């Protein structure tokens, strides 16, 4: 099942480093999301893009910068990583903006040491 | 904004018993309510959903009920099996809005 894919699956890094997570969907969907799932399993939306345009930007530190080169890709760059950034990051996509069905990627487990 | 509360946080049942997970929401404009199942180390996957013009929906052993007046919806799993063990999330969304509001999750353990 590679409809929504993410790389890498695991990311272990030191505090202060900069890292990127990549997401690609081959479903032809217009809308993509980034979610953060913390250690208590709570799923929180971070960003949403529709056809390369940012439409949701939750209260996320500006160390997190999403980039959408085209509607099939949504990458997440994180600067100056902190211990509290350790979490699982899920990418997701929906057929259209405001659409109901979401498909999640496999997740990227980020561990900051 | 919307606030979705989910109960219980953990639920343990014997194989073959039924399990019920409840969610309440605050925004009366929400009209789409999906349920996701997340197995350990895996991605959340949609298992069933309901829209506000329907009171109940069933798919084999799982069903969802919606009470718009009381602003709550529930997931019902009958004849539970060990493979039903997972974390279940409810969510709510307004039509044509992009933001999904998730509940805090219920860890279901089905004991063989």
Q: State pLDDT tens for residues B46-89.
A: 999 999 888 999 999 999 999 999 999 999 999 999 999 999 99
CB B109: neighbour CB atoms within 10 A? 14
A66 touches chain B (CB under 8 A): no
- How large a percentage of chain A has pLDDT more than 70? 96
Distance from CA of A112 to the nearest CA of B (A): 18
pLDDT at residue B101 greater than cutoff 60: yes
Cβ contact A50–B98 (<8 Å): yes
CA-to-CA distance for B87 and B6, rounded, in angstroms? 12
Q: Which regions of B39-96 does DSSP assign to beta strands (E)? A: 45-51, 56-59, 62-67, 72-77, 86-94
Contacts of A55 in chain B (CB under 8 A): 98
Query: Residue A1: its pLDDT value, please?
Result: 53
Per-residue pLDDT averaged across A51-58, rounded?
85
* B52 CB within 8 Å of a chain A CB: no
Check the CA dihedral A41-A42-A43-A45 and report its sign.
negative
The average confidence (pLDDT) of chain A is: 92
Q: Is A1 on the interface with B (CB under 8 A)?
A: no
Residue A38, phi then psi, degrees to nearest 5: -85, -175
Please tell me the predicted confidence (pLDDT) of residue A99: 65
Q: Nearest CA to A85 among A31, A52, A27, A46?
A: A46
């Amino acid at each position: 099942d590679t409809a929504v894919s993410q790389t890498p699956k695991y990311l272990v890094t030191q505090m202060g480093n900069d890292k990127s997570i990549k997401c690609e969907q081959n479903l032809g969907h217009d809308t993509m999301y980034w979610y953060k799932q913390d250690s208590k399993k709570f799923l929180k939306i971070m960003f949403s893009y529709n056809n390369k345009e940012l439409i949701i930007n939750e209260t996320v530190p500006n160390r997190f910068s999403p980039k959408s080169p085209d509607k099939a890709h949504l990458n997440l760059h994180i600067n100056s990583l902190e211990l509290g950034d350790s979490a699982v990051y899920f990418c997701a996509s929906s057929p259209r903006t405001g659409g109901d069905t979401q498909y999640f990627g496999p997740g990227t487990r980020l561990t900051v040491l | 904004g919307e606030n979705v509360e989910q109960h219980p946080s953990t639920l343990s049942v014997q194989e073959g018993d039924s399990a019920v997970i409840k969610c309440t929401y605050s925004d009366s404009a929400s009209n789409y309510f999906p349920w996701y199942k997340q197995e350990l180390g895996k991605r959340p996957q949609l298992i069933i959903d309901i829209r506000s013009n329907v009171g109940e929906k069933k798919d084999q052993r799982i069903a969802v009920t919606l009470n718009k007046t009381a602003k709550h919806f529930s997931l019902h799993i009958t004849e539970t099996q060990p493979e039903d063990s997972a974390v279940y999330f409810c969510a709510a969304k307004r039509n044509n809005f992009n933001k999904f509001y998730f509940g805090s999750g219920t860890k279901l353990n089905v004991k063989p």
